[in-house]
Amino acid sequence: MTSLVRHLTFDAHDAYRQGTFWAEVLGGKLADDDFPGDPEALVEGGGVTLLFVTVPDAKTVKNRLHVDLQPQDRTRDEEVERIIALGARLVDDQRKPSGRGWAVLADPEGNEFCVECSAAERAALTAAVNE
């Protein structure tokens, strides 16, 4: 028998705030029993379950593991702007004039994640190369 990944767990100063941010990003929801001040917040949505756990120590270095997001119903650039409006900040812009590349963002507590091209954008880029 093998193991399954049940959820990805992130340390946080404010688990509920982080959970709320990521629920908005993923179009998911917080667990029904999560409330402000709780030591944990569970987010279900976007095909993955994220768990945020309150810890006393601050994030000090770059993440060793990060989330790569692929927009489903908008372009990469539209998704970057939407997520920045939710409280993220742009850390490193790797978007190319050709339409390729990605943007590295940080969530409200500084955890880095990437926003890549949508499937439609990838298909268009591949079609352009094959013409």
Amino acid 126: pLDDT: 85
Amino acid 27: pLDDT: 95
Amino acid 125: pLDDT: 87
Amino acid 40: pLDDT: 97
Which among 106, 102, 107 has a CA at the least distance from the CA of 91?
106
Please, what are the domains in the chain? 1-58 (3.10.180.10), 59-131 (3.10.180.10)
Amino acid 1: pLDDT: 79
Alpha-helical segments (H) within 65-118: 76-86
- Provide the residue-wise pLDDT of the chain in tens; the chain has 131 residues: 799 889 999 999 999 999 999 999 999 999 999 999 999 999 998 788 999 999 999 888 888 899 999 999 999 999 999 999 999 999 999 999 989 999 999 999 999 999 999 999 999 888 877 76
Positive or negative, the Cα torsion across 102, 125, 76, 73? negative
